[in-house]
Amino acid sequence: GLAVEEIKSLSEAHPKPADIQFQYGTAGFRTLGSVLDSVMFRVGIIAGLRSKKCDGRTVGVMVTASHNPEPDNGVKLVDPKGEMLEASWESYATRLANATTNDEVIKTIESIVETAKIDLSKPAKVVYARDTRPSGPTLVSALEDGFKAIGVEPRNAGVTTTPVLHYLVRAINTKGERCSYGEDSEEGYFSKLGDAFKKLVTGRPAASPLIIDCANGVGAPAAEKLSELLGNSLPIILENTDITTKDVLNNGCGADYVKTSQKLPPSLANKLQPGQRACSLDGDADRLIYFYLDNRGAFHMLDGDKIAALVAAFIVELVKLAGLEGLIKVGVVQTAYANGASTKYLSERLPVKCVPTGVKHLHHAAERYDVGVYFEANGHGTVLFSQVTMETLAQHQPLSPAQSRALEHLISLTELINQTVGDALSDMLLVEVVLSYKSYSGIEWDSLYVDLPNRLVKVVVADRNAFKTEDAERRLVSPEGLQQKIEGLMNRYQSGRSFVRPSGTEDVVRVYAEAAIKSQADELAFRVAGLVY
């Protein structure tokens, strides 16, 4: 049974702020770090319950607010396979986070135990980590009190990236098994990535130095470790690595800054040479955006869509070269935010599916393909190889040295890619491998297709829940009549496309527009925003 008195006395120390409603959304719980204490304590309990439900297998908890400002923080649960928390549990987490009194906390736990049919006598194991935010240590101790309350055997993974935490969860749960994901430590993660990368680039010409903007976050120490391990196989220059100065995290740098402002981080202005490759990580190193300056000094961004195009085409090519065409089908998953030009480029080459925003939607859709490439335009994404595909690769008998090489490359890619979640460092190595094979610079990669100019604006509305969408968020069904008006506007612009959706992480409605010319994309966005407001 529950240790009711123990839970109550621990819960006493973590009271819920009266005036706040919490919600486990697409990014877990996320808000100002200063109001998250009670949420952390209760997430500790939920994590324990989830592990018990999963027969004592290890679940993960990541404390981070990713690309958001430094005073924010958040928390997300990771299921035993290293993937996002199962959807039905999001509402349990929300319910427990909003229980007002201690008695209500107990009652809510009891009701979750009953609804989810949890056997409390099962063991509970949780591995947890945090990013570099100053509010992290206190929030982690609240989390640990939650573990104590429900009887969790905790494993502290310290300060690390979100993708490392996902890796650890999967590695711990597959330890000693045939499908072992790797050694269950941060070193295990780095050597898995590093070894696969070195194998893939052996014999290739040396790469020119790559600049990594670490967003002054947890990606900095991680990239540093990776860089040491890679040595000459990939020369790396680290920038924005300050994880101690206050308020510099994600500030004027990082993947979200670059994607949203479509600008070079000012701190790189005198460092990036024309033609040189650079990339930005976000605050927890699960998003990646590349960029370069052309000979005239103009900034060019290579976002998640460009990464998907580069990587998907490369995998299709390897599958063909390995003699596996027809046996392994590669597909791509995007969201409505994917640039229309990328969708066109990809659709002409392989199956493309559009799903609603949020990693869980992309991940699940990608699982349906033999090899599923998914990327959000914001730079979050990965590649999934199905179990059957893994076996096909292991058993295939190549008929020529060329087939054999392509097969080896495909197998190394399955090791290089973090298949649990989007991973900036793993994705970066993947991009570097493809650029090396293709002998592409950023310029050649960029010319695969030309992005349509686009604009994203947010609109504060009275009630964002009044906005309901269909067709993977590409069309509004309510408020009534609004969709027709949007389409009326859209049709007046060459290559015009626009959609409106409620944000899952902020109390706003987002408006996206693209068109053949920048000024038209801006105009369309603002006119649609005018309809919404």
Name the residues annotated as catalytic.
66
Contact stretch for ligand 16G (CB under 6 A) within 11-19, 204-212, 311-319, 357-365 = 357-365
- For 300: left if phi > 0, alpha if psi spans -120 to 50, otherwise beta; the answer is beta
376 binds, among Zn ion, ligand 16G, none (CB under 5 to 8 A by kind): ligand 16G
| Closest CB 76 distance from ligand 16G, rounded Å | 7
Numbered residues of the known binding site for Mg(2+): 66, 282, 284, 286
Written as six digits, the tokens of 165 are 């935490």
Secondary structure of residue 326 in the 3-state scheme: coil
Q: Identify the H or E element spanning 371.
A: strand 371-375
Alpha-carbon distances, residue 178 vs 173, 182, 196, 369, 372 (angstroms): 12, 11, 19, 23, 23
Nearer to ligand 16G, 148 or 455 (CB): 455
Interhelix angle 102-115/4-12, rounded to 10 degrees, is: 130
User: Interface with ligand 16G by CB under 6 A: which range of 142-150, 272-280, 347-355, 499-507?
Assistant: 499-507
Helices and strands of the chain, counted as H and E runs? 18, 19
79 is a site residue for ligand 16G (CB under 6 A): no
Strands 278-281 and 210-213: parallel
Q: Is 194 in the site for ligand 16G (CB under 6 A)?
A: no
Three-state secondary structure of 264-294: CCHHHCCCCCCCCCEEEECCCCCCEEEEEEC
- Of the pair 90, 239, the CB lying nearest ligand 16G is at 90
Please identify which residue in 83, 90, 144, 286 interacts with Zn ion, judged by CB under 5 A: 286
**CA 471 to mean position of chain CA atoms:** 22
509 part of the interface to ligand 16G, by CB under 6 A: no
Stretch that binds ligand 16G, among 296-304, 372-380, 409-417, 520-528 (CB under 6 A): 372-380
Residues 20-59 that bind ligand 16G (CB under 6 A): 26-27
Residue with tokens 């994607």: 259
Do 278 and 268 form a contact (C-beta atoms < 8 A)? yes
317 binds, among Zn ion, ligand 16G, none (CB under 5 to 8 A by kind): none
The half-sphere exposure of 439 on its side-chain side, counting CA atoms within 13 A, is: 2
Choices 172-180, 305-313, 395-403, 501-509 (CB under 6 A): range interacting with ligand 16G: 501-509
Apex 65 CA angle, 151 and 34, nearest 5: 75
- The whole-angstrom separation of Cα 362 and Cα 354 is 8
User: Shortest distance, CB of residue 3 to ligand 16G, whole angstroms?
Assistant: 33
**CA 386 to CA 366: how far, in whole Å?**
9
Which of ligand 16G, Zn ion, none does residue 27 bind (CB under 5 to 8 Å by kind)?
ligand 16G
26 binds, among ligand 16G, Zn ion, none (CB under 5 to 8 A by kind): ligand 16G
| Cβ closest to Zn ion, residue 182 vs residue 254 | 254
**Phi then psi dihedrals of residue 372, to 5 deg:** -110, 115
Quick one: which segment of 221-229, 236-244, 373-381, 443-451 binds ligand 16G (CB under 6 A)? 373-381
* Residue 250 interacting with Zn ion (CB under 5 A): no
SS (H, E, C) 221-238: HHHHHHHHHHHHHCCEEE
- Looking up tokens 């005073």 gives 71
CA 312 from centroid of its chain's CA atoms:
18
Binding residues among 433-472 for ligand 16G as defined by CB under 6 A: none
Among ligand 16G, Zn ion, none, partner that 357 touches (CB below 5 to 8 angstroms by kind): ligand 16G
**376 binds Zn ion, rule: CB under 5 A:** no
Q: How far apart are CA 504 and CA 525, in angstroms?
A: 20
Q: Does 382 bind ligand 16G (CB under 6 A)?
A: no
Residue 104 C-beta: closest distance to ligand 16G, Å: 29
Among 31, 135, 357, 382, binds ligand 16G (CB under 6 A): 357
Q: Does 131 bind Zn ion (CB under 5 A)?
A: no
Is 305 near Zn ion (CB under 5 A)? no
Of the ranges 219-227, 270-278, 356-364, 402-410, which one interacts with ligand 16G (CB under 6 A)?
356-364
Determine which residue in the list 31, 38, 66, 108 makes contact with Zn ion, applying CB under 5 A: 66
Q: Annotated binding site, which residues?
A: 66, 282, 284, 286, 376-378, 501-505, 510
- Chain centroid offset of residue 482 CA: 31
Task: Find the DSSP H helices in 396-508.
Answer: 401-416, 424-438, 442-446, 482-490
3-state secondary structure at position 217: coil
End-to-end CA distance of the chain, in Å? 52
Q: Which of 64, 135, 173, 378 binds ligand 16G (CB under 6 A)?
A: 378
Residue 259 in the binding site for ligand 16G (CB under 6 A)? no
The residue among 252 and 504 lying less far from ligand 16G, judged by its C-beta, is: 504
Q: Pick from 131, 145, 284, 473: which binds Zn ion (CB under 5 A)?
A: 284
Contacts to ligand 16G by CB under 6 A:
26-27, 357-359, 376, 378, 380, 503-506, 510
- Residues at the contact surface with Zn ion, assessed by CB under 5 A: 66, 282, 284, 286-287
